[in-house]
């Protein structure tokens, strides 16, 4: 009977831990054992799972991806469709209006967004708007029997505070991990356009994106957005967007459908010991002004190259990234008060955030058929391709004639119908003389691109 005795021994060894666990006391010396369970029972109903469906168009031949080829040979584009699905997390922040916060990269280019609640309901979500530069997106779901998380003040966070991440890593919904705030104000990571991350060692994995980072009171302190994963998995370095930053972005998205960033007009870099000595700063941290754009609010207020910014609207500034992010959160018309050091002497500069497109004209004044919905301005374009006159494209409304013509914010129009254009008057004349617009040549970033107008 050796095998039977061995089996009984194995059963005893396996059962023993469960027996001892069952006898754990509910309290020690009259004190209840610490547990996150009560907080999580209040918080997890506000956490949702997000799935998306995206139709991906696949061209039959690489030449079909070339708009000039299709236009020149008048070849119709045949396309096949396939579906791609993604999985992420989100958090309900307004139960009355049904608003859900998540990351832009979770729902980017999605044709359909589904939100699964804690109670198992799956709802179709409406995209209110996004801000790719901060990786924030706002969704709206039917406001019926929802539970919303409470906000914390992320400016009050300290390194060492306990935090909890909730989400759906690898599709495992309502997963909870805990840790501490490892660092604050992380930037320069190249993850987003504007960075001011909370770093945490609470385990964050693929699928956690868009989910909440909460404190021990269950209040929202951040939105989980990225991990540092040199080996492809979690190594205890995760990043969340501070909730104060998210709320400022969300308010604009709800109001405008997107973020309208203003103009202040400075370029900046981090202060280092050598630069601090060169400009006689007398401080080790701050943002050094490296450029002041002409005719900008900064220039009109008297800000100069070499000034060191140490405070913005009463908030201490320790790096160029922090100053850049805080300026980006201000709205057009908001006041700007900078405490600076100039040659070691303290000075205060006051100004405001300007509308970067105040001097642009509506595109419909040039040609409503092709440019309605865009803002345009004659400029002298300076790029890797030289210094040339052209037409700068400001904001472009989606699904507008300008959008369908292919132009996007930041483009610079250089040619129309293979003819050089130096200003908007020439562009209007070419379209009129040629009886329409067939093709545009633009600069987009560091590339020259041909567009076929539709």
What are the chain's domains? Answer: 43-140 (2.40.10.10), 150-256 (2.40.10.10), 266-352 (2.30.42.10), 361-452 (2.30.42.10)
Q: Which SS3 state, helix, strand or coil, does residue 141 take?
A: coil
- The count of C-alpha atoms lying within 13 angstroms of the C-alpha of 228, restricted to the half-sphere facing its C-beta, is 13
Query: pLDDT tens across 167-189, in order?
Result: 988 878 889 999 999 999 887 77
Residue 67 pLDDT exceeds 70: no
* Non-local CB neighbours of 38 within 8 Å, separated by 6+ positions: none
Name the residue with higher pLDDT: 76 or 99: 99
> With bands split at pLDDT 50, 70 and 90, how would you rate the model's confidence at 86?
low
Q: What pLDDT was estimated at residue 420?
A: 94
Q: What are phi and psi of 453, to 5 degrees?
A: -70, 140
> With bands split at pLDDT 50, 70 and 90, how would you rate the model's confidence at 294?
confident
Q: What pLDDT was estimated at residue 12?
A: 34
Find, among 283, 282, 353, the residue nearest to 312 by Cα: 353
Name the residue with higher pLDDT: 213 or 109: 213
Q: How far apart are CA 154 and CA 245, in angstroms?
A: 9
Q: What is the pTM of this model?
A: 0.77
- The pLDDT mean for the chain works out to 85
Mean pLDDT of 109-132: 92
CB 86, CB 49: distance < 8 Å: no
Mean pLDDT of 217-237: 83
Q: What pLDDT was estimated at residue 185?
A: 85
> With bands split at pLDDT 50, 70 and 90, how would you rate the model's confidence at 439?
very high
> With bands split at pLDDT 50, 70 and 90, how would you rate the model's confidence at 382?
confident
Inter-CA distances, 303 with 86, 287, 300, 308, 351, Å: 47, 13, 8, 10, 10
Q: Which residues are catalytic?
A: 105, 135, 209
Q: What pLDDT was estimated at residue 122?
A: 92
Q: What pLDDT was estimated at residue 327?
A: 92
Give the pair of three-digit tokens for residue 418.
Answer: 């293979």
Residue 68 pLDDT exceeds 80: no
Residue 6 pLDDT exceeds 70: no
């Amino acid at each position: 009977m050796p095998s039977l005795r061995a089996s009984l021994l194995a059963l005893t060894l396996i059962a023993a831990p469960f027996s001892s666990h069952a006898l754990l006391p509910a309290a020690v010396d009259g004190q209840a054992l610490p547990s996150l369970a009560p907080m999580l029972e209040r918080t997890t109903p506000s956490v949702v799972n997000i799935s998306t469906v995206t139709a991906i168009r696949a061209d039959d031949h690489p030449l079909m991806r070339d708009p000039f080829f299709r236009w020149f040979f008048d070849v119709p584009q045949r396309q096949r469709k396939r579906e791609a699905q993604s999985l992420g997390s989100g958090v309900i922040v307004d139960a009355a209006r049904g608003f859900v916060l998540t990351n832009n990269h979770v729902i980017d280019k999605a044709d359909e967004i589904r939100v699964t609640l804690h109670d198992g309901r799956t709802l179709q979500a409406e995209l209110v708007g996004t801000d790719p530069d901060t990786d924030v997106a706002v969704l709206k779901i039917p406001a019926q029997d929802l539970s919303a998380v409470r906000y914390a003040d992320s400016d009050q966070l300290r390194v060492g505070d306990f935090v909890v991440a909730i989400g759906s890593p690898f599709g495992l919904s309502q997963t909870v991990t805990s840790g501490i705030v490892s660092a604050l104000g992380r930037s320069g990571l190249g993850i987003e356009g504007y960075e001011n991350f909370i770093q945490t060692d609470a385990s964050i994995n693929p699928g956690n994106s868009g989910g909440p980072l909460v404190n021990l009171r269950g209040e929202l302190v951040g939105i989980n957005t990225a991990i540092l994963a040199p080996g492809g998995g979690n190594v205890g370095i995760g990043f969340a967007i501070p909730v104060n930053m998210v709320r400022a972005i969300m308010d604009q998205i709800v109001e405008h459908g997107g973020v309208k960033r203003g103009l202040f007009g400075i370029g900046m870099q981090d202060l280092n010991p050598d630069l601090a000595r060169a400009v006689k700063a007398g401080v080790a941290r701050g943002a050094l002004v490296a450029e002041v754009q002409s005719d900008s609010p900064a220039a009109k207020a008297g800000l100069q190259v070499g000034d060191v910014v140490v405070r913005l609207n009463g908030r201490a500034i320790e790096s160029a990234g922090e100053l850049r992010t805080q300026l980006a959160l201000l709205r057009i018309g908001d006041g700007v008060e900078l405490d600076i050091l100039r040659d070691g002497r303290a000075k205060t500069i006051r100004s405001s955030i300007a509308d970067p497109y105040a001097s642009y004209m509506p595109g419909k004044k040039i040609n409503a058929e092709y440019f309605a919905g865009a803002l345009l301005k004659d400029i002298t374009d300076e790029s890797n391709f030289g210094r040339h006159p052209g037409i700068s494209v400001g904001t472009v409304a989606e699904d507008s004639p300008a959008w369908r013509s292919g132009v996007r914010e930041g483009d610079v129009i250089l040619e129309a119908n293979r003819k050089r254009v130096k200003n908007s008057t020439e562009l209007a004349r070419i379209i009129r003389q040629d009886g329409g617009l067939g093709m545009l040549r633009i600069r987009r970033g560091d590339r020259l691109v041909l567009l076929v107008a539709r």
